[in-house]
Amino acid sequence: MQLTDGAVVTEAPASCTEQLARFFPHVAAQRVAVQVAALRAGSAATLEPTVMEFGDAEHGIFLSTLPLEFADRVRIEYGERTRVAEASVVAVQYHEGQKAVAVRFSRAQKHQVSQS
């Protein structure tokens, strides 16, 4: 974009989570501190602190370094670990060395991870 004085303004590139959120038009931007653990049989659950950057009643999107893949189950703790949600991975986006993960909350626990 060029302004009338000749200056050029460029848009900041979309973050990894923003790119993934484009596929989920109903999610809203948020910043909720969470702890995520992969729920794999036979492995110890390692909690990873991260931030839920987008979400709604069905989905959440966050950055992760955990070895998560499509259909993996995760546990998400939030609200100083007083609230827990289970979800399954529905999409993974890699961009510039980062990995964004989109999850769908289980039907029994469908709710929004929020700051409340």
> What proportion of the chain, given as a percentage, has pLDDT over 70?
78
Q: How far apart are CA 34 and CA 21, in angstroms?
A: 18
Collapse the DSSP code of 96 into the 3-class scheme (helix H, G, I; strand E, B; otherwise coil) and give the result: coil
Residue 116 has pLDDT above 50, yes or no: no
CATH code: domain of residue 73: 2.40.10.220
Quote the CA–CA distance of 34 and 5 in Å, as a whole number.
Answer: 45
CA dihedral (50, 51, 52, 53) in degrees, to 10, reads -130
The verdict on residue 51 lying in a domain is: yes
Residue 77 contacts by C-beta under 8 Å, 6 or more apart in sequence?
34, 35, 36, 37, 47, 83, 84
Helix (H) or strand (E) holding 19: helix 16-21
Instruction: Return the beta strands (E) in the chain as ranges.
Output: 28-38, 48-55, 59-63, 73-78, 83-95, 98-105
Is residue 9 included in any domain, yes or no? no
Of 8-12, 38-42, 61-65, 97-101, the range with the lowest mean pLDDT is: 8-12
**pTM beyond cutoff 0.85:** no
Confidence band of 79 (pLDDT split at 50, 70, 90): confident
Domain count, the chain: 1
Q: Residue 94 is part of which domain span?
A: 16-109
Mean predicted confidence (pLDDT) in 13-32: 93
